Amino acid sequence: MVVNFDSRRVQLVLALRKAGITDSKVMAVMESIPRNIFLAPILVKHAYEDVALPIGFEQTLSQPGVVGIMTQALDVTDRMKVLEVGTGSGYQTVVLSRLVRRVYTIERHRELLEKAEKRFKELKISNITAKYGDGTFGWKAQEPFDRIMVTAASLDIPPILADQLSIGGIMVVPIGQTSDLQSILKVKRTEDGFETEEIREVSFVPLIPAEV
């Protein structure tokens, strides 16, 4: 089957608009990234649908609408140094890399990290530094960060990560007490503490296509 990825990408943009993405830079970057290369061949036909998809180890490539909402909430500029926790497929990492100066990303599954790094090379991206490890400890040698994006749900705002934010810095993190419903929080570090704002409720339940 020949898949016309160009028309699929147009579909994706429409889905992103529906999800509430109004930031034209985020929209343009997401439109330009081939989401199919982040997936196993059997799932490629679903690459431009607004659904989360499995990437192995019970992890998922996040739904594009959620990637868009979280990226928009992070409110980045091209001068920023950003930390991402949970590289996964590397899709969110690549979206960020096109919008900021440098992205540091941490993944706790070695195999996922290796695959993601191959994709960064394939796309000829040179402003991503990736490492294997537990991202809840952040990346001490590189702090402070202008922005921190956490792409795995946490029970509470991770304190070490909050501490690695610069003053005026923003962290976007899904917070949830249950496994299938989280709230995306935007946490801003001020001179005297932290301000939080709820962006929206999300469900990270992956869609498993019937034929898999």
Residues forming the site for ligand SAH (CB under 6 A)? 59-62, 85-86, 88-89, 91-92, 106-109, 112, 134-136, 151-152
Instruction: Catalytic residue, from 32, 62, 126, 154: name it.
Output: 62
Rounded to a whole number of angstroms, the distance between the first and last alpha carbons of the chain is: 17
Q: Which residues on adjacent β-strands are paired with residue 83?
A: 104, 148
Peptide bond into 144 cis (omega under 30): yes
> Nearest distance from residue 191's CB to ligand SAH, in Å?
29
Of 155, 158, 152, 150, the C-alpha closest to 204 is: 152
> Nearest distance from residue 61's CB to ligand SAH, in Å?
4
What whole-number distance in Å separates Cα of residue 112 and Cα of residue 107? 8
Q: Closer to ligand SAH by CB, 154 or 166: give it.
A: 154
- Give yes or no: 203 in active site: no
Of 133, 172, 136, 174, the C-alpha closest to 155 is: 174
What whole-number distance in Å separates Cα of residue 34 and Cα of residue 131? 23
Q: Closer to ligand SAH by CB, 195 or 201: give it.
A: 201
> Nearest distance from residue 135's CB to ligand SAH, in Å?
3
> Nearest distance from residue 86's CB to ligand SAH, in Å?
3
In one-letter notation, the amino acid at residue 24 is: S
Active-site positions read 62
